[in-house]
Each structure stands twice: as structure tokens, then as C-alpha cells.
Amino acid sequence: QKEVEQDPGPLSVPEGAIVSLNCTYSNSAFQYFMWYRQYSRKGPELLMYTYSSGNKEDGRFTAQVDKSSKYISLFIRDSQPSDSATYLCAMRGNFNKFYFGSGTKLNVKP
Amino acid sequence: EAQVTQNPRYLITVTGKKLTVTCSQNMNHEYMSWYRQDPGLGLRQIYYSMNVEVTDKGDVPEGYKVSRKEKRNFPLILESPSPNQTSLYFCASIHTGGRNTEAFFGQGTRLTVV
């Protein structure tokens, strides 16, 4: 079983839609949860970061962590064509090792 | 500006010809890591370094070497590249202070081995 599972998509939505991206994980010791955004031909960039359980909001983006279910989500409100990218979830484990999901490719159509 | 610089961005080489991909960071981070990204497999860790002269294998180290002689540089070496090492490679410099954590990635190196 992979440490982190993520639906690869692709996910295609119309502009203005609410997008929900999700990951599940198997290691209950994970405490640091991140979402990275990767545009085509670029390296991933940190979008949201959450420590332990709970919600975090930043503009149109909301990250949720449910440690009891080992499930994390990223919601994008009022999605824009500029949000079209691949979104990777990530967790930090022991010895600062990062575990990445395989990424979900999102396409927001104008 | 915080930066991770990888070179080259694109490389086509032949089987068996040694190559080095360079990586440099300007954030004074102790922890650096190399990943390869393949469709459907996501980012897989090749090697990492927790500090100067301290390196260790990640999940897919076969066919790769690294060195960390200075804090800012972490080159990836392919002694005898093979076609199954055709991939997109990313170097990352990782901030691990307290409850804050972030991996800063380079722009990537697209390697093709023929």
C-alpha cells in the first residue's frame, strides 16, 4: 500500500466551480500536511500548509485535515482558468522525509 | 529571492555516458533532496542529504549517486545512464524549522537517455 493515495484525474470543471481535491494516507504519525501546485514545465510550489488536524483558509483556497479518517482535502472556490495545474498533496514524516501523492491534474475551462 | 537552481533544464544523452545534474540553493537549508517524477507515480525520492557530508538513499537510489561537499550544492550523478532513467528530475531544498515546513523545488531537469 502506498503511503499517500491521490486520484490522478484529470478533473475538468467550468470557470467559477468549486473544486474538491483529496488524498488519503496510511501513516497515522503524519503531522504536517501540504498542498503543492505544479504548472506545466515548472517545479511544484507550496500552496497551503497545515499542522495537525483542522481547517486553514487562504483566499479562495481551504485545506482540511481529518486525522481520524486519514483524509485531507483542498477546496478551491470560484475556480479560475489560472488554477489549471497539477495539485500534489504531501505529508512530512520522520527524518523530514516528504511523501507525495501522485498529483491530480485540474483543468478549469473558461 | 529564495531559489533552487538546477542545470541543465533539458538533456538528451546516450546509454552509458556519465552525466551530472547540478543543484544549488541560496537559503542555507541543511536538508536537500532529489526526486524523479514519472506519470502515475508522482514524486519519488532518489537520495537526500541532512547536512554537509551526510547523504542517504531514498526510495529509488539504484543507478544514482550524490555528493554534498558544501551546504548550497547537491549534485546528482548518473555514472552509467540507462533508458529507464529517462524522467523529470527535481532537486528540493527543505526548510524544517519548528512547526513550519516547506520544500522549495528547482525548475526541473528533463532527461532523456537513448
* Smallest CA–CA distance from A101 into chain B, residue: B42
Which residues partner with B56 through β-bridges?
A: B48
Chain A residue with minimum CA distance to B104: A45
Q: Which chain B residues are within 8 Å of A46, Cβ to Cβ?
A: 102-104
pLDDT for B101: 79
Neighbours of A34 (CB within 10 A): 24
pLDDT at A90 over 90: yes
Mean pLDDT per 10-residue section of chain B, whose length is 114 residues: 94 97 96 93 92 94 97 97 97 83 93 97
In this prediction, residue A94 carries a pLDDT of 82
Average pLDDT, stretch A54-74? 94
Kindly tell me if the per-residue pLDDT of A88 is higher than 80.
yes
C-alpha cell at B47: 537520495
Q: Does A42 touch chain B (CB under 8 A)?
A: yes
pLDDT at B71: 96
Amino acid identity of residue A40, one-letter, is S
Cβ of A62: how many Cβ atoms within 10 Å?
Answer: 17
Joined grid coordinates for residue B53: 557530508
A38 or A96, greater pLDDT? A38
Between chain A and chain B, the number of residue pairs with CB atoms below 8 A apart is: 55
Pairing of strands A98-100, A104-109: unpaired
Q: Is the pLDDT of residue A78 over 90?
A: yes
* CA dist., res. A82 & res. A65, Å (int): 25
- A97: pLDDT confidence band, cut at 50, 70 and 90? confident
How confident is residue A2, by pLDDT bands cut at 50, 70 and 90?
A: confident
Report d(CA A92, CA B30) in Å as an integer: 16
CA A43 to chain centre: 15
Mean pLDDT of A33-39: 95
Contact criterion met (CB below 8 Å) for B112 and B13: yes
Considering chain A, what is the average pLDDT of its residues?
93
- A109 contacts A14 by C-beta, under 8 angstroms: yes
